[in-house]
Structure 1
């Protein structure tokens, strides 16, 4: 699979791993904007089934997010941002309906915003997983870590906002 990467300066080939490519719509001072192809076919089997390729994407996106934060000099936010990226991308890969998952990470004057689109109008629900359940805590973790979170009116985009420490402004 070939992916095209564009930035404000030039168009280049970009790989996030040796086996899969992603279209990097933009990166740099403005932020990170990724378009990830899904290999799982929505609507077949359990909504929780993910292909082996799709299981690799949350880790790749975490690493790319970490690189972006380092570009901005915001290493202090790596752990919370990586966790939010991982949980939101995993949910999008697992429950999304579209052929791609979009991931945006950008900085405003006082915060970082993560947006993940998945093509599904089904709104995610914050649930309380039982002590013996192996999943169901991701969105609760995002809610606990982020300053705020929500879902677009059409249900296709889940977002969260994290404050930038005052000394980093």
Structure 2
């Protein structure tokens, strides 16, 4: 499956990943990989800035994630997964390195796992934002919504895990 929007193409592939420690849960045959081409070059501009073109990707990834969850009949997870995807992808675009941001969504036993690879060895840090700050809440939201989250030892992949409800609508 390939998603195209505004001249950019993100490719969705079915392939295994070994970047996340939660991968040890065991695959249930449900996975989606998305490679997002970055239009802005990391290191240009201020840290945390993303190009106008790249700023469209979090919304696209939310829609792709929702479609995949509906296909898997995991509708109850759409809203929390969309929020986690949006926050992790935005952080990867703003602070990552390299020309591609990787997004992986898969079900492992009774959990749904999101992995976002950004190519940067700098590990994200959970911050407490002041009420007037316009940013700095992304990982706090992921922390509040996900069962658990973390970063790979090399810092290039941030992941989170959500429980799959027993009863599916």
Category of TM-score, reference length = shorter chain: 0.7 to 0.9
Query: Secondary structure in 1 aligned to 2:4?
Result: coil
User: 1:43 aligns to what SS in structure 2?
Assistant: coil
Shift of 1:26: 2.6
| Equivalent residue number for residue 108 of structure 2 | 108
What RMSD in Å do the two structures reach over aligned CA positions? 1.3
Could you tell me how far apart the structure 1 residues matched to 2:66 and 2:164 are? Answer: 15
Residue of structure 1 aligned with 2:11, choices 13, 23, 41: 23
Query: Is residue 109 of structure 2 the alignment partner of residue 121 of structure 1?
Result: no
1:65-97 CA-to-partner distances (Å, cap 9, x unmatched) read 000100111111100000000000000000001
**Total equivalences in the alignment:** 155
Structure 2 equivalent of residue 75 of structure 1: 75
Unaligned 5+ runs, structure 2: 16-28
Cα distance change of structure 1 residues 165 and 37 upon mapping to structure 2, 3 Å threshold: same
Q: Tell me which stretches of 4 or more aligned residues in structure 1 moved more than 6 Å.
A: none
Note if contact 1:31-1:68 (Cα within 8 Å) is conserved in structure 2.
no
Cα distance in 2 for residues equivalent to 1:15 and 1:23:
6
Q: Deviations over 1:12-37 (max 9, x none)?
A: xx23324321122239x622101111
TM norm structure 1: 0.88
Alignment of 1:40-119 (within 5 A): 40-119=40-119
- Structure with more contact order per residue of length (Cα contacts < 8 Å, sep ≥ 6): 2
Query: Partners of 1:37 and 1:158 in 2: how far apart?
Result: 18
**Number of the residue aligned with 1:11:** none
CA distance in 1, matches of 2:6, 2:43: 29
Q: Tell me the alpha carbon deviations over residues 102-126 of structure 1, each in whole angstroms, 9 at most, x when there is no partner.
A: 0000001100000000000000000
1:34-80 deviation line (CA, Å, top 9, x unaligned): 11111111111201221111000000000000001001111111000
Task: Give the match's secondary structure for 1:134.
Answer: coil
TM-score, length basis structure 2: 0.88
Q: Distance in 1 between matches of 2:84 and 2:107?
A: 15
* Within-5 A mapping of 1:127-138: 127-138=127-138
